[in-house]
Amino acid sequence: MFNRYRDDLRMVWLVAWRELHDQLRDWRIIFPMVVLTLILPFLADLGAQAAINFTTQYGTPLIAERLVPFLLMVVGYFPITVSLVIALESFVGEKERGTIEPLLVSPLKDWQLFTGKLVAGTAAPLVTSYLGITVYMIGLYFQRIPFPDFNRMMQTLVLTSVQALLMVSGAILISTQATSVRAANLMASFIVIPMAILIQGESIMLFWGNDQVLWLAVLGVAVLTALLARVGIAHFQREALLGHEIDVLNLRWIGRTFWLAFKGDARSVWGWIRFEILKTVRKQVPSILMTIGMGLVAVVAGYLWVNSNSTRIVGQFNAGDLSSLISSTGMGVPVSNFTISFPTIWGHNLQAILVILLLGLFSFGVLGTLVYLLNMGIIGAVLALIGALGGSPLKVGAFGILPHGIFEIPALILASAAILYIGIMLVTPRPQRTLGEVLIEAIADWTKIALGLVLPLLTIAAIIETWVTPVLLSSALK
């Protein structure tokens, strides 16, 4: 078995070495990457020195201290975007040059071919990124600017590495789906722009100075990287690289594929409700059970976290804040305010479900699941805080959350499990289906759950939360 794994890895290395050899012999690829990589660190060093001089005049050196690791992250990110073009043309570029056929008819397995390209595509971005970081650190040394602490340095290096892997995995996946280098370069905006937004979020964490949250960001990017690489390996088909010369936006095909998956075998609305929804729920039982388990953990974790920090947290509240605290959870309403409308509550709940869908679609269900966990964690945290403020968590839970929660929480679970199911389907190999077909069918399943179960449950929950929960909670807290 060990020899078989060794032979498989040797094949991966052969593909990677072939790709690296093609990259290194073309000076038009190497020269711009090296020159641009060396220029930016010098500019960053000058910017750091100017920021330190400016903030020192006003007695705010903390800003400059946080700016140094931020520029370190930018210096590591910029070369990745420059050298991303190598990964973008890894498959489609060879197809245009006419060199892909010998590689496709070789005895290599699909995963070996994809992984070899992934290894080679990651090498140049990482090398140039580390080169830029090294030049930046040398500049800090000669300008006598203090280095970031060791923990922050490790965070930046690890974050740079996983971001490079994430971007390259996405670029190679695009290269397998695109029909021309021009199309691949245009589609690269779907990688660069989200990553730029992510960098902005990480910069907030850096200036905030919360190391734990930044390590969580590292973990989240690493999970997304693994999922994206898995999607590429699961749906890579060498035949498809030669089977399509040009892509046409076929809205009729998209609509027909979605409708067939959405309708299923049903011949009437009642048959769709009775059989198709039940069949879809049955398919998603594993993701539903996973979602329920994660939700329970989030509730307990939120409760325990507030209990362990109750002294510090309670100091920010007083007994008069109890009503507003209950209303801020989204799982209750102010006991003194009965004018809150049904459309407001229903629209708020629907908005939360749509946010879970949109975030989940761009992250294989990961970000959607995080929003769900945040909602569940808030329930546990608020119940613990109510107890710390002298209230009764049992009363608030029984009369302020449970009446509508028995409908709203299952709706949240079903919607979150359905978006998690989309991620599971995308990373599951299905040789008979293209990536687009798998995505359309998974979205159709989510729509079935949303229209057949989630929407009715949210409507019932909003009715109870508008006209029943306030009365019960007001009576219980008198």
Query: pLDDT tens, 258-293?
Result: 999 999 888 888 889 888 999 999 999 999 999 999
Q: Quick one: average pLDDT of 342-354?
A: 89
- By residue count, the chain amounts to 478
Q: Which of 39, 53, 62, 57 is nearest to 139 (CA)?
A: 39
Tell me which DSSP letter residue 435 carries: H
Scan for tokens 């299923």, then name that residue.
264
Helix residue spans in 143-210 (DSSP H): 150-177, 181-187, 189-208
Q: How confident is the model at residue 53 (pLDDT cuts 50, 70, 90)?
A: confident
Handedness of CA 363, 193, 208, 225 (dihedral sign): positive
- What band does 315 get if pLDDT is binned at 50, 70 and 90? low
- Say yes or no to pLDDT of 328 above 50: no
Instruction: Give the residue among 75, 89, 82 at the shortest CA–CA distance from 34.
Output: 82
Mean pLDDT of the region 161-184? 82
pTM score, two decimals?
0.79
The Cα angle at residue 103 between residues 97 and 106, in degrees rounded to 5: 155
42-55 average pLDDT score: 74
Name the least confident of 56-70, 163-177, 337-351, 411-425.
56-70
Q: What gap in Å lies between CA 436 and CA 103, rounded to an integer?
A: 25
CA distance 97 to 364: 33
Distance CA 224, CA 229 (A): 9
Tens digit of each residue's pLDDT (9 = 90 or more) over 367-406: 888 889 988 999 998 888 888 877 788 888 888 889 999 9
* Section 89-106 average pLDDT: 77
Q: Are 121 and 87 in contact (CB under 8 A)?
A: yes
Mean pLDDT of 30-54: 74
Nearest residue to 183 (alpha-carbon basis) of 261, 247, 249: 247
pLDDT bracket for residue 454 (50, 70, 90) = very high
Give the dihedral sign, CA 268/270/276/280. positive
CA atoms of 285 and 277, how far apart (whole Å)? 12
pLDDT at 218: 85
CA distances 431 to 67, 111, 247, 248, 342, Å, are: 48, 13, 20, 22, 47
More confident residue, 228 or 248: 228
At residue 320, the pLDDT reads 52
Confidence of residue 1 (pLDDT cuts 50, 70, 90): low
